[in-house]
Amino acid sequence: MLDGMRAASQNWMGRLLMAVVMGVIVVSFAIWGIGDIFRGFGAGKLGVVGSTEISSEAYRFAYQNELQRLQQQTGRVITNDQARAAGLDRQVLGRLVTEATLDQKAANLGLYMSDAQVAQLILADPTFQDPSGKFDRMRFEAILRDNGYNERSFVREQKGNYLRREIGEAVAGQLQPPELMTQMIDRFQNETRSVDWVTLTAAQAGDIPAPAADELSKFYDAHKASFVAPQYRKIVTLAITPASVAKPQDVSDADAQKLYDAVKTQRFGAPEKREVQQIIFPSEAEALAASDKIKGGATFEAIAAARKLTKSDTDLGAVVRTAIHDPAIASTAFALKPGEVSSPVKSEFGYALVRVGAVTPESVKPFAEVAQQLKTEIARDRAKKAVQDLHDKIEDARASGKPLAEAAKSVGLETRTVDAVDARGFDKNGQSVQGLAAEQDLLRAVFASDVGVDNDTISTRDGGYVWFEVAKVDPSRQLSLDDVKDKAAAAWKADEIEQKLAAKASDMVARLKTGVALSKIAADQKLDLKHDGGVKRSGAAGLDPKTLIAIFNEPDKGAGSSATSSDSRIVFQILDSAVPNFNPDSDANKQIAKQLQPLVSDDVVTQYIQRLEQDYGVKISTEAMREAIGAADQ
């Protein structure tokens, strides 16, 4: 069930519905609250659902596991404060409350799972199997160790997981989405509209004279927030990555050749392709009779025609070996010479005669063409140890009190000084500062730090490190009108154009709503009329997403306008709308229903859990919750 939730949330529709489901879960917090609604919990007890306890230790363990997973995903340190600000503590608590609720229901129903049953399920879990499909004890123990479990605690948790899953399956496991839901999504995706439109540009706004001094001053006063110099910071930074340390020129041809020989087919080659045809016979006797006829001079095509088979029935096309599903057919096809017909082959669907046409041999890029690429890869891989050694030496130097520049010099490296950079990565001239390693993470850390702060090292995605120091902070300041006179004048003019175009578009839409055709207005005002008879929400040539939303927000035969920029506006008229005939058996709608099924099931399960929470009663100590994750002082 939970796997279905994750799979379904990989597309826009799934994410939309998942948002609804998660919203329902959030509402459940409002129902039972997480206030410190009672005191006197025993030591280590965070809350109860019915008679099922949630321990502080279980909450701490789940919270730390989730925090560690997020840090691994993002590749950077996430503090407790950041995690709580993002709501991680409540998300983890919500999951534990859900689990405790289902555990209470399982206990009420008298559900039980033996150790032997759990062992069978674990042995069959692909997560713990080796490439041959057998249970791998060492892999099992390694995964448990990496996730903070021992075998006993893992088995205990798995018992709960399996029983909860059984309850979920019993409640809504085979529930199918209502056909109306699929129909509405089909309509949303495939409704088309026939639309005329014109584009109003700055030319239609007329001449805009330069603003008078008092007009410009008034505009500046009303838009002061737009004329603010951002905060700039001077930083000293040092980046060490495998790419910066690697020395491809030191990699020998022999080493590169060795790697090339190992990977050339998979990475630099195109496998052999063959044009393959087959005729399937229900019995070996019929296949032998046909084979004898071919040996006697009959053609492959004649045999196929006699069996009333068309080319599409016999032709597999130009395929690689792995594209042929039947191993016997694949082996035979790739053993024949071009133009040769095989003897009868026993296949999955009967006995086959196989013929091979043109053969495209395997091709591989020559070593000389990829040698430099391979040397770079080898050099970067070798550089990882050097990067770690440099990291340790620099950290030792910093620990002894040396500033970053001196620590870098101690290992023969130079820091880089950026005199001014804002939070977006631009300098004071508005140009992007180039060459910053792990730029987004670096800038985020720089603007969360201050002068004189000893900052944590930033890890890069390729296994490198970035250090930085904030040397100076130029605070944000309000720019005077004299500082931005030209910029303010340009902004005033753009605002004037936008207002004039909006007024002109409003007048045109008013005329359209009285029954005047846009084609007539366009001809009268010498505007270029455009038309598309198949506009969909998913897109149309010449129409931006904002305009598409406006078009489908209007009723059939309606009209409207949409700003495409500060100096451009579209006026449109809907001539007709077409709603597709709904076919629940189409491949597209079957796929929609398939995606909806786990989401509808999960929605029902969520409502079921909410009701159980109300029936059992949920009590949570926020004091114990804060203490468990080290936030008792907040």
- Measured at the CA of 48, the angle between CA 45 and CA 52, to 5 degrees, comes to 100
Q: Are 543 and 570 in contact (CB under 8 A)?
A: yes
Question: Has this prediction a pTM greater than 0.85?
Answer: no
The region of weakest confidence among 3-7, 362-366, 379-383, 581-585 is: 3-7
| DSSP letter string, 192-207 | EEEEEEEEEEGGGG--
pLDDT at 270: 85
The region of weakest confidence among 30-34, 166-170, 186-190, 306-310 is: 30-34
pLDDT at 42: 53
Nearest Cα neighbor of 50 from 97, 117, 113 is: 97
pLDDT at 18 over 60: no
pLDDT at 549 over 90: yes
Q: Say how far apart CA 33 and CA 31 lie, in whole Å.
A: 6
pLDDT at 3: 40
Tell me which of 131 and 108 has the higher pLDDT.
108
Residue 229: strand, helix, or coil: strand
Residue 35: strand, helix, or coil: coil
- Measured at the CA of 206, the angle between CA 201 and CA 210, to 5 degrees, comes to 110
Nearest Cα neighbor of 603 from 12, 186, 11, 28 is: 28
Q: Say how far apart CA 623 and CA 314 lie, in whole Å.
A: 73
Domains of the chain: 2-177+593-628 (1.10.4030.10), 192-227+484-578 (no CATH), 230-241+392-478 (3.10.50), 272-361 (3.10.50.40)
Q: What share of the chain is helix, strand, coil (3-state, %, to 5)?
A: 50, 20, 30
In one-letter notation, the amino acid at residue 483 is D
Instruction: Take residue 169 and report the two structure tokens written for it.
Output: 């399956």
What digits encode the pLDDT tens for the residues 441-465?
A: 999 999 999 999 999 899 888 889 9
pLDDT at 255: 92
pLDDT at 149 over 90: no
Burial of residue 532, with CB atoms counted within 10 A of its CB: 0-12 exposed, 13-18 middle, 19 or more buried: middle
Mean pLDDT over 82-108 rounds to: 91
Q: Are 631 and 84 in contact (CB under 8 A)?
A: yes
Assign 172 a pLDDT band (cuts: 50, 70, 90): confident
pLDDT at 190 over 80: yes
Assign 631 a pLDDT band (cuts: 50, 70, 90): low
- The top-scoring range by mean pLDDT among 127-136, 553-562, 564-573 is 553-562
Tell me which of 397 and 270 has the higher pLDDT.
397
pLDDT at 13: 42
The region of weakest confidence among 79-83, 228-232, 460-464 is: 79-83
Mean pLDDT over 114-137 rounds to: 85
pLDDT at 73 over 80: no
CA distance from start to end of the chain = 37
Instruction: Take residue 399 and report the two structure tokens written for it.
Output: 């620990």
Instruction: Take residue 450 and report the two structure tokens written for it.
Output: 């201050």
Instruction: Take residue 117 and report the two structure tokens written for it.
Output: 């049953």
Residue 115, C-beta contacts closer than 8 angstroms, at least 6 positions apart:
155
Calculate the average pLDDT of the chain.
87
pLDDT at 495: 94
The region of weakest confidence among 15-29, 211-225, 296-310, 351-365 is: 15-29
Tell me which of 571 and 628 has the higher pLDDT.
571
Q: Say how far apart CA 401 and CA 337 lie, in whole Å.
A: 75
